[in-house]
Each structure stands twice: as structure tokens, then as C-alpha cells.
Amino acid sequence: MKINGMTMIERVYAQSKKSHADRVIVATDSKKIFDEVILFGGQACMTSSHHQSGTDRLQEVAKLLDLPPKHIVVNVQGDEPLIPPEAINQVASNLAARDSVGVATLFEPIDNYEDFIDKNVVKVVIDNAGLALLFSRAPVPWPREDIIDNKVNRISVTDLPMRHIGIYAYRISTLNQFVSWPIAPLEKKELLEQLRFMWHGERIHVDKAVIEVPKGVDTKEDLEDVIKLLTTNL
């Protein structure tokens, strides 16, 4: 899709290039996307079309590039044309600073009821060390004391509900483990691949995003919102 004259994948690539990453590579099983990336001068890698998740696809590229076990990679979704480079740097730095975890990701507070109950808004619960306790599409943690007529009476940015932002940093050694594990029961139920790490005892560090991360483009309406935002900021 074109966004103000530039394809969405080129916008994602351009934003990623502004980060501190040594290299930016588009991993895809689509010849059309591959050709588009080469056309605008980017790097791309064709992968299998049989992957269950983006994490599996990432591991294939890491293997093809023969990246060392301690190397850190960041997975940026191809439908995030407004991804801030600061968020990419943040997850990479957070992981690099913590030898005891294999994955790092981000959250931002939920401040409205509609997002809290929306199954497409993934919630995360963390402990006092910033490690994930749970990811879920369900409204968690459930604010039992604030329920009136089966509806949450208030949502405050000072409360616990947190929206998970789908950007991840991984160590290659952790990715290699991930693809050797079977799909976890919780992962299958929620359709959230990060639950496979937790099911097998891998710790995930979750930090509040240092900058607002706009939502990705999942629908035609999302695309129109992005075009409107970019046009307004010209």
C-alpha cells in the first residue's frame, strides 16, 4: 500500500534505518515485497512460507546470516510505518543491559475502557523488576473494586492496565531455543507467540516506552489514520 507516495514497507524500513541498528533487513516470504525492497535500495531476505510466527521467520534469517549466539536483533513489524527509532533503540539497550533475560519488549498505559476490553489490544502484567508475568487479550488485571454494572468504572494512567507494544529484541541463542519448542497451550489459546517463551521459563523484560508508539496498520481505517497524521505533520 502507498502512503503519501511511499510504500508502507519503505516507510518502516526508513524509520528502522534511523535507529542505531548495524543493519536493517526485511524478512519476507512475498516476492512482491522482496522486489519492492530491492527497488528502493533496501536489504531483503526471502524466507519460508510455512512459518507459524514472525519469530520463526526472524530465526531463519539469523541462521542464514550465521549470526553469533550473543548477537541482538530487533523484530519490527512490517505494518508499523510510524515506528519511532527511539523504541527500537530502547528494546535493544534494555536487553543488552540484562544478561538474565532473552527477550525485551515495551508497554504503554491503557487509559480508556474500550482499549481495556478490546481483544486486539494485548495486555501485559509485570512484576516489580519489570519482568512479564502474563500477556493476554483479556482485560487484565481485572479491577474488582471498580466494577459497576459489570463495567469498569474508571481507568487511570496510574493504574495497572498496560498495552503491550509488539516490538521485540532477542538474543540469537534465545531464538534458536524458541524454534525447537512446541507451540505452548497458552500460546495456542491466546494466539500470542511470546507466551511460548514464558511457558518454557524464558524471562521477558517489559519497559514503558520512552516515546509514544503509534498503532500499526491492520485495517483500511488504520491506513487512513496514518495518511491523515502524516499529512497533518507535513
CATH number of 2-211: 3.90.550.10
Q: Which residues contact 24 (CB under 8 A, 6 or more apart)?
A: 13, 16, 17, 42, 43
Q: Could you give the C-alpha distances from 173 to 18, 67, 80, 86, 180, in angstroms and in order?
A: 26, 10, 26, 25, 11
Which parts of the chain sit beneath pLDDT 70? Answer: 144-160, 234
Residue 186, number of CB atoms within 10 A of its CB: 16
Domain ranges of the chain: 2-211
Q: What is the pLDDT of residue 20?
A: 97
Q: What is the DSSP string of 18-47?
A: TSS-S--EEEES-HHHHHHHHHTT-EEEE-
Residue 60, number of CB atoms within 10 A of its CB: 18
Residue 208 in contact with residue 157, Cβ under 8 Å? no
Measured distance CA(165)–CA(216) in Å, rounded: 10
DSSP SS3 for 70: coil
Q: What is the pLDDT of residue 157?
A: 46
Q: Which of 151, 150, 147, 126 is nearest to 136 (CA)?
A: 126
Query: Facing residues of 108 across strands?
Result: 163
Residue 123 in contact with residue 135, Cβ under 8 Å? yes
DSSP SS3 for 103: strand
